[in-house]
Amino acid sequence: MARPLVKVCGMTRMEDVELCVKLGVDLLGFIFHEKSPRNADPDFVASVKTGKVSKVGVFVDQTADEVIETMDRCGLHAAQLHGGQDSIFCWKIGPDRVIRAFWPAAYSSPHALERDLDAYTEVCGHFLLDAGAKGQGGTGRTIDLAALQHIEIQTPWFLAGGLGPDTLRAALAVNPPGLDFNSGVESAPGIKDETKLREVFRILAELE
pLDDT of residue 132: 75
pTM comes to: 0.94
Rounded average pLDDT over 162-181: 94
C-alpha triplet 142, 26, 74: angle, nearest 5°: 100
- Looking at the structure of the chain, the number of domains it has is 1
Rounded Cα gap, residues 32 and 38, in angstroms: 8
Please report, for the domain that includes residue 21, its CATH number: 3.20.20.70
Rounded Cα gap, residues 90 and 100, in angstroms: 8
SS3 16: helix
Rounded average pLDDT over 4-33: 97
Over the stretch 21-35, which tens digit does the pLDDT of each residue have? Answer: 999 999 999 999 999
**Residue 146 pLDDT > 90:** no
- Answer yes or no: are the C-beta atoms of 164 and 140 closer than 8 Å: no
Rounded to the nearest integer, the mean pLDDT of the chain is 93
Over the stretch 41-97, which tens digit does the pLDDT of each residue have? Answer: 999 999 999 889 999 999 999 999 999 999 999 999 999 999 989 999 999 999 999
Q: What are phi and psi of 15, to 5 degrees?
A: -65, -35
Domain that holds residue 170: 5-205
